Chain A
Amino acid sequence: MIKSILKSDDFKLKNCINYIVVAVALVAACTLHGMGELKTSYMNLLVQIGYSIILAVSLNLVVGFLGELSLGHAGFMCVGAYLGTFISMQLSEVIESKIICLLISMLCGGVIAAVFGFLVGLPALRLKGDYLAIVTLAFGEIIRTIFKNLPWFGKAMGLSTGAVKFTKKDTPLFIIVFITVLVVLFLVQNLVRSKHGRAITAIRDNEIAAKAMGINVTFYKLFVFVIAAFFAGVAGVFYGHYTTPVMYTFFSYNYSIEILVMVVLGGMGSINGSIIAATLIPIINFKLQEKLPGDLAALKFLIYALILIGIVIFNNAPKLAPIKEKISIKAIIAKLTAKNRKPEDILNDPAHWDKIPTKISMDEVLSTDIQPGNEYVPDKPEKGGK
């Protein structure tokens, strides 16, 4: 059975390498935990990594695949954390098992966040780019203000979630989180590779062309927005079960940016990249918190800022494009494989005709830019003519 799957054409190792890595990490962590080697602080770190991956992957759907900037991701997480955990707390009076409470409230928190995503997305997606960013930012702030002031959620003290918080006696939370991460990865990857995923990337690349091809732009935008909000809500529920009290201050604009840093660092439109970045950033935070006291904590934000500016300028600046091509991994791989390729192979592959080795580089032939010094000077007609 497995052999036949492995042999079929649809199966590619690179498409499922991330499941394997996450699963191996989970098994390794479980073994360590079973041996009693895992410190509580590291278990907390694992939970953080888990929900960061969910957040980063879902934000990547919006920013990387749909091409819209959302600065309110922490707002959706806030909805999940407050309302989902609140539901869980009510349930915990009836149901004894914390895991069942968590699972039910996860779904509830996700769905409520998705409803909020729908409500925000419906008006906001009429807007583009910068406007959408500012509206989602506004949404995040509104949500935070509301939860701060509503009487049921502890007001300025935050929602105290001691009743449902996972303690040492329970099944470690990171196992559930990482299983959810696997499910989320499975859903998102299959969405991205499906017909719908292609429609979404088509909208990113050229909205008008996508519309002309018959893609329902509004539907897909809203769809992506709602799904991302759902996952953010789920991540929020995990957060609520992992810490107490749930504080509105955590979900500020800064946290939305932190998620954005993960997406940009990992590469917009790359799920594996988001996973790596979402693993790295909590670890960096954790290590920095140990080492840096007080005001030096700003160093963390300095690093984020430099990551954002550096990566975006490097990837997008038109002037840096030639340098980027030279040192990118793809170019190096292409160079290595090009050595083994026979010219006949290239000739039979129309998609790579630009790779045919010629004496003149193809760019020069195709370029219409006139460099100083080689302007076209028409021949002067001979005197008298013929």
Chain B
Amino acid sequence: MSILFDGLSLGAIYALIALGYTMVYGIAKMLNFAHGDIIMVGAYSVFVTLASGGHIALACILSIVLCVIMGVVVEKVAYKPLRGSSPLAVLITAIGVSYLLQSISQLIFGADPKNVTIASLGAVTLFGAKISVSSIVTLVIGAVIMAALTVFVKKTRTGRAMVAVSEDKGAAMLMGINVNKIISVTFAIGSALAAAASLFYLMQIPSVEPTLGSMPGIKAFTAAVIGGIGSIPGAMIGGVLLGVIEKVCLSVPVLAPYTTAVEFGLLIVILLVRPIGLLGKKRREKV
């Protein structure tokens, strides 16, 4: 039971990151490799604020603001000049940006992990199992954010414009949608979600290092692909699924060392059976 809860809350973190991947992929048709490192930026900003005596709420707000700025700047500087060129070029640049962020933070903060304690919440007993409060908080807030995002995409003008751009960029442009602005907004939202994910991540694992974002980033992308990339509910389902699988694997002694292999193996199996992911839409290729 407590494993399931831990899995769900880890899954919520993955889902939040995966949403950033899937939205950017849907709209800019690119795999934003640097997304995972935005999480790291958020975590470091929390660390700096707390270390300089700031309040926890201030740290949260600052980290979200910083991540949004970071996401938009990365998009403008590194990805925008490449719009319209080959996907391979964009992908390699994204990898470069990810490396850049990691190495800069290592130069500033050093490679050793820094301790960040956001809040020491205890554990409660629920249904006869010990469940940490932080995973409940993660789960609840994560669910609220995802619900809000779904409403945003479905009901608001900007959200619908995002859907339009992801379906057909050219037609959206003809309808008077400012595509560049929408892409920036998408990056901003994705980065804000990453910042939220970084807060939850720190609640569970209270230490930060320059490579903090890369593994959750890759796993969240795996989740996004499993769920069907470009699909928002798909990212949520994929993220939660992956989180639960990870925690279950870790709790089985035989499987525990192979957890990473199991997760990525799942990705390969899913891509084999259903290359578009669980909830993905099939796209016909145009010549």
Within 8 A of A (CB), among B260-275: 260-261, 264-265, 267-268, 271-272, 275
Report if A69 contacts B (CB, 8 A).
Answer: yes
Q: Would A305 and B103 count as touching, CB distance under 8 A?
A: yes
Q: Would A138 and B268 count as touching, CB distance under 8 A?
A: yes
Within 8 A of B (CB), among A127-177: 127, 129-131, 133-135, 137-139, 141-142, 145-146, 148-149
Q: Would A135 and B268 count as touching, CB distance under 8 A?
A: yes
B90 CB → nearest A CB, Å: 8
| Interface 0/1 of B208-242, CB less than 8 Å to A | 00100010001001100100000000000000000
Within 8 A of B (CB), among A153-206: none
Query: Which residues of chain A are near B110, meaning CB under 8 Å?
Result: 294-295
Residue of A127, A130, A295 near B106 (CB, 8 A) is A295
In the assembly, what is the distance between CA of A305 and CA of B84, in Å? 22
Q: Would A123 and B272 count as touching, CB distance under 8 A?
A: yes
**Secondary structure type dominating chain B contacts:** helix
Within 8 A of A (CB), among B238-287: 257-261, 264-265, 267-268, 271-272, 275, 285, 287
Instruction: Give the interface centre of B78, B97, B106 by most chain A CB atoms within 10 Å.
Output: B106
Residue of B78, B87, B260 near A141 (CB, 8 A) is B260
Residue of B78, B86, B268 near A313 (CB, 8 A) is B78
In the assembly, what is the distance between CA of A141 and CA of B217, in Å? 14
Within 8 A of B (CB), among A182-233: 208
Query: Closest residue of chain A to B214, judged by CB?
Result: A253
Determine, out of A10-18, A296-304, A335-343, the stretch whose residues face the partner at the interface. Answer: A296-304
In the assembly, what is the distance between CA of A135 and CA of B277, in Å? 13
Query: Closest residue of chain A to B81, judged by CB?
Result: A317
Q: Would B97 and A134 count as touching, CB distance under 8 A?
A: no
Instruction: Give the interface centre of B92, B107, B259 by most chain A CB atoms within 10 Å.
Output: B92
In the assembly, what is the distance between CA of A106 and CA of B271, in Å? 33
In the assembly, what is the distance between CA of A130 and CA of B32, in Å? 10
Within 8 A of A (CB), among B94-119: 95-100, 102-104, 106-107, 110-111
Report if A378 contacts B (CB, 8 A).
Answer: no
In the assembly, what is the distance between CA of A123 and CA of B107, in Å? 40
Residue of A253, A296, A308 near B96 (CB, 8 A) is A308
In the assembly, what is the distance between CA of A294 and CA of B210, in Å? 14
In the assembly, what is the distance between CA of A306 and CA of B95, in Å? 11
In the assembly, what is the distance between CA of A318 and CA of B275, in Å? 31
Report if B82 contacts A (CB, 8 A).
Answer: yes
Query: Which residues of chain B are near A316, meaning CB under 8 Å?
Result: 82, 85-86, 89
Report if A126 contacts B (CB, 8 A).
Answer: yes
Report if B93 contacts A (CB, 8 A).
Answer: yes
Report if B31 contacts A (CB, 8 A).
Answer: yes
Q: Would A134 and B87 count as touching, CB distance under 8 A?
A: no
Q: Would B91 and A130 count as touching, CB distance under 8 A?
A: yes
Query: Closest residue of chain A to B264, judged by CB?
Result: A138
Q: Would A137 and B218 count as touching, CB distance under 8 A?
A: yes
In the assembly, what is the distance between CA of A300 and CA of B260, in Å? 28
Query: Which residues of chain B are near A307, meaning CB under 8 Å?
Result: 96
Query: Which residues of chain A are near B111, meaning CB under 8 Å?
Result: 294-295, 298
Report if B175 contacts A (CB, 8 A).
Answer: no
Report if B174 contacts A (CB, 8 A).
Answer: no
Q: Would A299 and B107 count as touching, CB distance under 8 A?
A: yes
Q: Would B82 and A317 count as touching, CB distance under 8 A?
A: yes
Query: Which residues of chain B are near A320, meaning CB under 8 Å?
Result: 81
In the assembly, what is the distance between CA of A146 and CA of B107, in Å? 32
Query: Closest residue of chain A to B218, judged by CB?
Result: A137
Q: Would A149 and B258 count as touching, CB distance under 8 A?
A: yes
Q: Would A318 and B84 count as touching, CB distance under 8 A?
A: yes
In the assembly, what is the distance between CA of A301 and CA of B95, in Å? 12
Knowing A298-B107, A306-B100, A316-B89, say if A145 contacts B267 (CB, 8 Å).
Answer: no
The 9 closest A-B pairs by CB, nearest first: A308-B96, A138-B264, A298-B106, A305-B100, A305-B99, A301-B103, A316-B89, A309-B96, A317-B81
- A to B CB contacts below 8 Å, 10 in the list: A123-B272, A129-B88, A131-B225, A134-B222, A135-B271, A302-B103, A304-B96, A305-B96, A306-B96, A307-B96
Known: A131-B275, A305-B97. 17 other contacts (CB 8 A): A126-B275, A127-B271, A134-B31, A135-B267, A135-B268, A137-B218, A138-B267, A138-B268, A139-B264, A294-B111, A295-B110, A302-B100, A302-B103, A305-B98, A312-B96, A316-B86, A319-B81
Which B residues are within 8 Å of any A CB, using their own CB? 25, 30-31, 78, 81-89, 91-93, 95-100, 102-104, 106-107, 110-111, 210, 214, 218, 221-222, 225, 257-261, 264-265, 267-268, 271-272, 275, 285, 287
Which A residues are within 8 Å of any B CB, using their own CB? 63, 67, 69, 123-124, 126-127, 129-131, 133-135, 137-139, 141-142, 145-146, 148-149, 208, 253, 257, 260, 264, 294-296, 298-302, 304-309, 312-313, 315-320
